[in-house]
Amino acid sequence: MQLLIMAAGMGSRFGGLKQIEPMGPNDEFIIDYSVYDAVKAGFSKVVFIIKKENEEVFKETIGKRVEGHIPVDYVFQEMNDIPEWVNIPEGRVKPWGTAQAIYAARDAITEPFLVINSDDFYGRDAFMTAKKYIEETGSKNYSTICYEARKTMTENGSVKRGVVESEGDLLKSITESKLELIDGSILASPLDGSEPFKIEDSHLVAVNLFTFDLSIFPFLKERMDIFFKENENDLENCEFLLPTEISNAVENKEKEVRVLRTNAKWHGVTYKEDTPIVKDAIKSLIDNNEYPNNLWK
């Protein structure tokens, strides 16, 4: 089983990869802890999705730290990696979203795999949950590993999450939403503009943590054609998002996706004010001997 890390957007929030502030005591980034957890869980390879222009600095700051511990590959998310018939508008400056990012790795991934974001601290239990599911189900499996909504919130503003609805352990839908804490309750505002609604603290949300088999790549190729035809009048702004495409496939009964729960506590830097909170959380994990003080030695 392999690990696919979506890192093409890494650094954009802080003005560039070099400006990302390390979170660990020896300049470790959040992404280092994710790779470390994957190694501990028995993953066989990590593939980083990055921007071509970040290749050198990414390899120098992250790649060289992990390459001695797990085989590493790199793929690039590029604007023109889409159907040839699509005319890219001059005003388009960013790639096409997380589903296109996954598709970019189609030649590098050779086994069932786990997808994660680069800037989310998911916790060891999330990787162990993925490992267990992949091992138990063999090579034919889709799943989303979910957190209780309150465990993924920040006190410093809203966050974007996929609000999950399920029937038993089968996914029914994922609604991409902005979550806000208002008077102690969580208000979910769907990104499609539909009516906001409240959810309980324990309601499960998706955070781009999925397991897939290799059938995801032809599926995304097919969906990409449909996506661009549906959005031909909005090519400057539209995004080909992984949770949306998976939710559509489930609702159309094209795919079956298991909902897995992790008890891990999510950490992430959505806002700069989150930085000291994440650093303190990592320090606490180190003090409790869950991670070594120097991660890669």
Q: Return the pLDDT at 236.
A: 85
Q: Residue 42: inside a domain, yes or no? A: yes
Q: What is the DSSP secondary-structure string of 85-103?
A: T----TT--S---HHHHHH
Q: Is residue 217 part of a domain?
A: yes
* Tokens describing residue 225: 């054609």
Q: Strands, DSSP E only, in the chain?
A: 2-6, 45-50, 72-76, 113-117, 120-121, 143-148, 159-167, 170-182, 185-190, 197-199, 204-212, 258-261, 267-268
What's the pLDDT score for residue 183?
87
* pLDDT of the residue at 157: 85
- Show the tokens assigned to 50: 């990055």
DSSP state of 149: G
Task: Please give the pLDDT value at position 180.
Answer: 94
Domain for residue 152, yes or no? no
**How many structural domains are present in the chain?**
1
CATH number at residue 48: 3.90.550.10
40 vs 80: CA distance, rounded Å? 36
**Residue entry with tokens 């008077």:** 183
Handedness of CA 16, 20, 26, 30 (dihedral sign): negative
Assigned domain for 253 exists? no
Helix (H/G/I), strand (E/B), else coil: 253: coil
Residues whose CB falls within 8 Å of the CB of residue 121, separated by 6 or more in sequence, listed in order: 23, 30, 33, 34, 266, 267, 268, 278, 281, 282
Residue 248 lies in a domain: no
CA distance 20 to 173: 34
Task: Please state, in angstroms and rounded to a whole number, the distance separating the CA atoms of residues 62 and 11.
Answer: 13
Beta bridge partners of 50: 76
Does 185 map to a domain? no
Residue 173 lies in a domain: no
Residue 100 lies inside a defined structural domain of this protein:
yes
Q: How far apart are CA 271 and CA 101, in angstroms?
A: 23
Residue 102's domain spans which residues?
2-146+204-236+265-287
pLDDT at 129: 94
- Residue 123 is encoded by which pair of tokens? 């916790």
Which pLDDT score, from 0 to 100, does residue 264 have?
A: 86
User: How far is 277 from 271, CA to CA, in rounded Å?
Assistant: 11
Give, for all 297 residues of the chain, the pLDDT tens digit: 999 999 887 665 555 566 577 899 998 999 999 999 999 999 999 999 998 888 888 888 889 999 999 999 999 998 888 888 988 888 887 888 899 999 999 999 999 999 999 889 999 999 999 999 988 886 567 999 999 999 998 888 889 999 999 999 999 999 999 999 998 899 999 988 899 999 999 999 999 899 999 999 999 999 999 999 998 888 888 889 898 898 888 988 888 999 999 988 889 888 888 889 999 999 999 999 999 999 998
- Cα separation, 73 vs 227, in Å, equals 28
